[in-house]
């Protein structure tokens, strides 16, 4: 097969991480639609879908020590890439998303899989799109699912094959403008990494997530709080996550990673086609000194902006990337916590978004290369949150405690009067707050339908 292009630094890091760390960084997006499909109907739509999008035909091949995209065949036979069946009795959509997240795509094979589970009593079909992170980011995932909806419910007349995108390493990076004064240099390594609760052999590791979704009323209250205090939604939830994790673990400082899209940061083009991953993770330590929520949010904002302005793309040889991933695989700790945000989902799903009744994206965290990741998205005006983590690497009590306090932070903000901030909290760095269970672990748990989020990457943890 003809080679398409070399994988960029970010894409190669994801590909190596997936292959060496038991599917770590694999992504599963759940999309529920208000329709039922026959096997032939769905199969034909998926084949048309793959014909339109290069990322669905891509494979990864190694040549002379470097990784390349090449064009492979279309969707393989069931169950390799298309799995059809009913929603299992007693199972929730979250259960299936957990199963898909932990069912690792084979290295060297197809880079994606679609599972359809029909709930005939409810008249809906749950779709689970699982892919190797090297082929997609938040932007391309939304566009990919939009095309699938078009093929299921009617495509626009001008729907044709899209071109392959370019290698981000070969584009000219444009530094984002910032009004934040230059901060002190970010340390090269975390000062206080997060130790694994259990360092299990790789075959025994898995990934799980806890949803912490907000109602439309709660979401609107958070937006109002942010508007009154000049904060962005991302700043609010990043601060809430940092405070909640710090209180749960008894820390007063945490290395905080924020996923950012690079798609509008290249001089050559304002838009890149869908094949490929154009994201990064910006790292900035955040000290929690017991000040108000707004104080901590402003500290996060300033630290992130300064670190983002100082960041530059890394271009490494693929052998060097593999060595860095092998070092991550041997680690017994994670550097910090992370937030990713795909923003409003409705717009990216296109004209058929009204057929969608549920949405969530979660990334496999088998390796716990971040101690905890908050996936954030907005669907029909409500915030969907999910805390993903590696098992048994991360202590479940830490996840439950963080989720409980995260919801408390939201409730305090929602009930705050104008000019008021959430009430004082226990001092940071003291004894950890006792963790109380708030939700059962995924993939094995049960729960109501929720909404979602999506991904990032960068040296320290290669994704």
The predicted model gives 84-101 an average pLDDT of: 95
CA dist., res. 173 & res. 267, Å (int): 6
- φ and ψ of 240, to 5 deg: -60, -40
Please answer whether residues 274 and 162 qualify as being in contact, where contact means their C-beta atoms are separated by less than 8 angstroms: yes
Residue owning tokens 């939009």? 146
How do residues 135-154 score in pLDDT, each as one tens digit? 999 888 998 999 999 999 99
3-state secondary structure of 391: strand
Q: Which residues contact 248 (CB under 8 A, 6 or more apart)?
A: 398, 401, 402, 405, 432, 433, 435
**Residue 177: DSSP 8-state:** P
CA dist., res. 293 & res. 297, Å (int): 6
Choice among 85-94, 134-143, 171-180, 399-408 with the minimum mean pLDDT: 171-180
Instruction: Using the predicted structure, report yes or no on whether residue 290 has a pLDDT greater than 90.
Output: no
Q: Which residue has the higher pLDDT, 444 or 45?
A: 45
Q: Which residue has the higher pLDDT, 438 or 31?
A: 31
Band (416; pLDDT cuts 50, 70, 90): confident
Note the pLDDT of residue 428.
52
Share of residues in the chain with pLDDT > 70 (%): 86
Band (156; pLDDT cuts 50, 70, 90): confident
CA angle 276, 282, 288 (to 5 degrees): 150
- φ and ψ of 398, to 5 deg: -65, -40
CA dist., res. 34 & res. 124, Å (int): 4
Instruction: Using the predicted structure, report yes or no on whether residue 73 has a pLDDT greater than 90.
Output: no
The predicted model gives 60-72 an average pLDDT of: 92
Pairing mode, strands 112-119 and 337-344: unpaired
Instruction: Using the predicted structure, report yes or no on whether residue 334 has a pLDDT greater than 60.
Output: yes
- Rounded to the nearest integer, the mean pLDDT of the chain is 86
Band (85; pLDDT cuts 50, 70, 90): very high
Q: Which residue has the higher pLDDT, 179 or 195?
A: 195
Note the pLDDT of residue 185.
63
Q: Which residues contact 224 (CB under 8 A, 6 or more apart)?
A: none
Instruction: Using the predicted structure, report yes or no on whether residue 215 has a pLDDT greater than 90.
Output: yes
CA angle 29, 35, 40 (to 5 degrees): 90
CA dist., res. 401 & res. 389, Å (int): 13
């Amino acid at each position: 097969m003809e080679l398409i292009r070399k994988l960029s630094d970010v894409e190669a890091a994801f590909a190596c991480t997936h292959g060496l760390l038991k599917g770590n960084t694999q992504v599963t997006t759940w999309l529920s639609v208000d329709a039922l499909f026959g096997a032939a109907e769905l199969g034909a739509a998926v084949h048309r879908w793959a014909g339109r999008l290069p990322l669905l035909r891509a494979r990864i091949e190694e040549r002379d020590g470097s990784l390349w995209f090449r064009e492979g065949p279309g969707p393989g036979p069931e169950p390799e890439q298309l799995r059809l069946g009913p929603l299992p009795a007693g199972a929730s959509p979250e259960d299936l998303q957990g199963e898909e997240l932990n069912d690792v795509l084979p290295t060297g094979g197809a880079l994606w899989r679609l599972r359809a589970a029909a709930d005939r009593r409810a008249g809906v079909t749950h779709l689970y799109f699982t892919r190797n992170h090297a082929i997609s980011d938040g932007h391309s995932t939304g566009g990919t699912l939009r095309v699938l909806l078009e093929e299921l419910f009617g495509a626009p007349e001008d729907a044709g094959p899209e071109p392959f995108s370019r290698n981000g390493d070969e584009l000219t990076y444009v530094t984002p403008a910032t009004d934040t004064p230059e901060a002190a240099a970010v340390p090269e390594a975390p000062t206080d990494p997060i130790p694994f609760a259990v360092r299990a052999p790789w075959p025994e590791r898995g990934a799980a997530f806890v949803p912490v979704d907000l109602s439309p009323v709660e979401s609107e209250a958070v937006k109002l709080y942010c508007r009154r205090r000049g904060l962005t939604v991302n700043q609010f939830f990043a601060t809430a996550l940092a405070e909640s994790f710090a209180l749960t673990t008894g820390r007063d400082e945490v290395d905080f990673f924020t996923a950012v899209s690079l798609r509008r940061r290249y001089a050559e083009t304002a838009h890149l086609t869908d094949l490929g991953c154009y994201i990064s993770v910006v790292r900035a330590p955040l000290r929690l000194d017991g000040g108000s929520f707004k104080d901590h949010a402003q500290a996060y904002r300033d630290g992130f902006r300064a670190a983002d302005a100082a960041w530059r793309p890394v271009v490494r040889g693929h052998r060097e990337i593999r060595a860095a991933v092998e070092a991550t695989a041997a680690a017994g700790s994670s550097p910090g916590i992370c937030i990713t945000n795909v923003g409003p989902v409705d717009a990216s799903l296109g004209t058929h978004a009204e057929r969608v009744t549920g949405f969530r994206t979660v990334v496999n965290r088998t390796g716990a290369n971040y101690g905890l990741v908050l996936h954030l998205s907005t669907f029909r005006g409500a915030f969907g949150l999910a805390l993903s983590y590696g098992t048994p690497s991360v202590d479940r009590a830490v996840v439950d405690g963080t989720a409980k306090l995260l919801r408390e932070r939201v409730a305090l903000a929602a009930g705050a009067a104008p000019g008021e901030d959430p009430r004082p909290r226990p001092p940071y760095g003291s004894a950890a707050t006792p963790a109380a269970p708030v939700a059962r672990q995924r993939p094995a748990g049960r729960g109501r339908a929720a909404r979602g989020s999506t991904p990032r990457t960068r040296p320290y943890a290669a994704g």
